[in-house]
Structure 1
Amino acid sequence: MAPMKDSLASLWATRLRQNQGIRSLMEDLGQVTGHPDEILLGGGNPAHIPEAEEIFAECFLTLAKDPLLNALLGDYQAPIGNDRFRSLAAEYLSSHLDASLTKDNIAFLNGSQNAYSYLLNIHSGKMTDGSFKKILLPIVPEYIGYADQSIEADAFIATKPEVIPTGNHRFRYGLNKNDFDLSEVGCVALSRPTNPTGNVLSLTDLDWIESKTKKRSLPLLIDLAYGNPFPNLIGEEEPVTYRDGRTLSFSFSKIGLPGVRLGIIVSNPETIQTLSSYAAVGNLAVGNLGVYMMEILFRKDILPLLSKNVLRPFYDKKRELAISIFESTFQKLGVEYEIHDPMGGFFLWIRFPNLSISNHKLYHLCKDKRLFIVSGHYFFPGLNSDFSHTQDCIRLTYCRKEEELARGAHILAEIVATHQMKSK
């Protein structure tokens, strides 16, 4: 078949074929060759943790012996999951989210990425009254996977965050409350912890945002892929609960099951019904494996203890090791750097204030050395004001082995040291 010409492609298709951050990231993961010199600090794969993988292997063995195995392999679910699984999830999550949920509050999708492709388009674009509504990201940088999900172009708006120095070579982003404009907005979306920085917005900040959205009856979408109740990588901050006006999303990916592709949405019944229509058109049905594994994990109440005793200590230790390695290497090679306080998640967000090239160019120079990172310019959808961080920040995962982190730090530091302006 001949390639599609731009003149014959939809505007949406033309946008999709342009350089996407999420496509670049996932293609980097998919093109890994296994060469011993490859250093994979770019993607969002969770670490392989033996204690967690033993639990998941037991789930597989249980399912293999289950009389319902034929149904798991041979029957469709309903578009957003069968009622018994949705009722189970509602009962289980009610206690963790301080809410009285029913199956009508629950939808399963093939990953939270899949869910957000529907949710963001439900609440943005051209409305029935003829208006055009946008998606507000109240704090950027924000998740790379949101940027290209809207069918309509120019659907995102964002405000420049406050930059708060927190110590030597440290900073964090703060919520900019002065430029918080909801006049053209259909929904507000954020992740907690925020991917890529690990920023965990306080409940005080969330309450402030919600005080504004409620006045306009706007939904607040909170992506908890790295948050509570699992894997619960939220540092010292308090957990999020469910209340009317919020749509919460959860994922099995970051507990160590990215290949299962299970996302769980908690929202009001109207949104859940709309998601069901979307899912029927886009997927026919949610996959079976994730919900069958969920049943085992929820009934045995495994995930809270796994998160507390295994996942969180593991990633805390990895984070401190990675910071130590990168800081030591940067300082040895004279690299000017700033690291966003990593309050949660499993990424480091690093700024090179004297970088003489763009972060996208830095990404390619690193890739030439078989070091995979993610350029930070992808993480600011909807930000139309000048902000130097869009060009001099990168994201790294610290989920890799110590030797790999050390080699990656050295290559990165050598490249940055060669391409940085002298300090004034």
Structure 2
Amino acid sequence: MTPMTDSFASLWASRLRQNQGIRSLMEDLGQVTGHPDEILLGGGNPAHIPEAEEIFATCFQTLANDPNLTALLGDYQAPIGNDRFRSLAAEYLSPHLGAKLTKDNIAFFNGSQNAYSYLLNIHSGKMADGSFKKILFPIVPEYIGYADQTIEADTFLANAPDVIPTGNHRFRYGFNKENFDLSNIGCVVMSRPTNPTGNIFPIEDIQWIEERTQKKSIPLLIDLAYGNPFPNLIATEEPIHYAEGRTLSLSFSKIGLPGVRLGIIISNPDTIETLSSYAAVGNLAVGNLGVYMMEILFRKNILPDLAKNVLRPFYEKKLELAISIFESEFKKSGVEYEIHDPLGGFFLWIRFPNLSISNHKLYHLCKDKRLFIVSGHYFFPGLNSDFSHTKECIRLTYCRKEEELARGAHILAKIVASHQAKSK
């Protein structure tokens, strides 16, 4: 087959073939060799938690013994899920999201990443009236997987956040309202908790944004992959509810089921209808396994207890352990560092203010030592201003075993210490 060259590729294809953060991350996940020295602190896999996996195994066994197994394996769903499953999800999620939902508010996708590839293109690019609409991130850094999803180029817009010191070696990003501008904006997008930082956008700031978006009928898309109602890794922060003008996304990945690829979209009926058309063209149908497992988990009301009694305690303990390990190694090696307050999710966002190389170069040096991290430069889509954090930060998962975290922290500290300017 003749290789595709830029002269025979669309502009979109050419952009896709450029260096993508999400492709780099997922290829690192998928191309590991199993070598005992590999330290996988880069990817977004949830931890393997025996109590959760036992529940999932029971669900799987129930499906395997179901006389209707042939329907699961041999029949297509509708593009965004059959009405029976959508109605079940609407009924189950209504009290959790503080709204009276119907099936017309629900769409299923093969993961929320799949859903956002449609949502972002629905609300951006060239509009029917000839205008060009962009996607606004009210705060960056933001999720690495958004940046390459739009067919049109130059569709993202973001402003640098406020950097708020919160303690010794600690900081937090704050929403900078000063430059908030909705001119030529098609939608506003945020993840809550934010991937990569674990930041949780305050409810009062969301309300401030909505006072302005609603006047212009601009939708607000809130990605709840790590948020409420499951896995609900939001500490004591106020949960998000569904309301007109909001599109919410939920994911089964972060409860421990990334392999089943189930994302749930909650939105207004018109958006859901458009998503159904997209899904039919781009994907034919949502997969069956996720929605069949969802039916068991919802009917038995398993997820609230799982989130409260298993997932949150596990990740809180892991977080405390990881911070102590990394801080100990950084101090031993004399590394200057700052950690974003991790309020939710399961990542550490670490800044090295005296780093003499770029974070992308640091990623490659770590990879040479079989330590996988994620360079922070990928997490600032649409930011056109100069902001030092784009070159100084990395993302780490703390879902790995203690021994792996310790080896990774030691290697990282040594590399950073050897590439650290004396003053900056």
TM more than 0.5? yes
Q: Which residue of 1 aligns with 2:80?
A: 80
- CA displacement 1:118-177 (0-9 Å, x = unmatched): 000000000001000000000000000000001000000001000000000000000010
1:67 positional shift:
1.5
1:62-101 equivalence runs, <5 A: 62-101=62-101
Moved over 2 A (4+): none
- CA displacement 1:39-82 (0-9 Å, x = unmatched): 00000000000000000000011001112110000000000000
Q: Which residue of 1 aligns with 2:414?
A: 414
1:218-297 equivalence runs, <5 A: 218-297=218-297
Output the amino acid matched with 1:312: R
- Alpha-carbon distance in 1 for matches of 2:406, 2:121: 42
- Alpha-carbon distance in 1 for matches of 2:391, 2:184: 28
1:272 positional shift:
0.2
Output the amino acid matched with 1:248: L
| TM-score, normalised by the number of residues in structure 1 | 1.00
SS at match of 1:327: helix
Q: Which residue of 2 aligns with 1:39?
A: 39
- CA displacement 1:286-345 (0-9 Å, x = unmatched): 000000000000000000100000000000000000000000100010000000000000
Q: Which residue of 2 aligns with 1:150?
A: 150
1:423 positional shift:
3.0
Output the amino acid matched with 1:145: G
SS at match of 1:136: strand
- CA displacement 1:247-303 (0-9 Å, x = unmatched): 000000000000000000000000000000000001100000000000000000000
- Alpha-carbon distance in 2 for matches of 1:388, 1:423: 15
- CA displacement 1:63-117 (0-9 Å, x = unmatched): 0111211000000000000000000000000010010000000000000000000
- CA displacement 1:335-387 (0-9 Å, x = unmatched): 00000000000000000000000000000000000000000000000000000
SS at match of 2:210: helix
Output the amino acid matched with 1:294: M
- Alpha-carbon distance in 2 for matches of 1:377, 1:203: 27
Output the amino acid matched with 1:148: D
1:10-409 equivalence runs, <5 A: 10-409=10-409
SS at match of 1:289: helix
- CA displacement 1:204-260 (0-9 Å, x = unmatched): 111111111111100000000000000000111010000000000000000000000
- Alpha-carbon distance in 2 for matches of 1:57, 1:273: 34
Output the amino acid matched with 1:40: L
- Alpha-carbon distance in 2 for matches of 1:312, 1:230: 10
- Alpha-carbon distance in 2 for matches of 1:410, 1:210: 45
1:184 positional shift:
1.2
- Alpha-carbon distance in 2 for matches of 1:235, 1:202: 13
- Alpha-carbon distance in 1 for matches of 2:359, 2:212: 35
SS at match of 2:222: strand
- Alpha-carbon distance in 2 for matches of 1:67, 1:38: 43
- Alpha-carbon distance in 1 for matches of 2:184, 2:358: 32
- Alpha-carbon distance in 2 for matches of 1:254, 1:72: 23
Q: How many residues align?
A: 424
Output the amino acid matched with 2:192: R
SS at match of 1:135: strand
Identity of aligned residues (%): 85
Show structure 1 runs of 5+ residues with no match: none
- Alpha-carbon distance in 2 for matches of 1:203, 1:66: 43
| TM-score, normalised by the number of residues in structure 2 | 1.00
1:5 positional shift:
1.1
SS at match of 1:350: strand
- Alpha-carbon distance in 2 for matches of 1:144, 1:209: 23
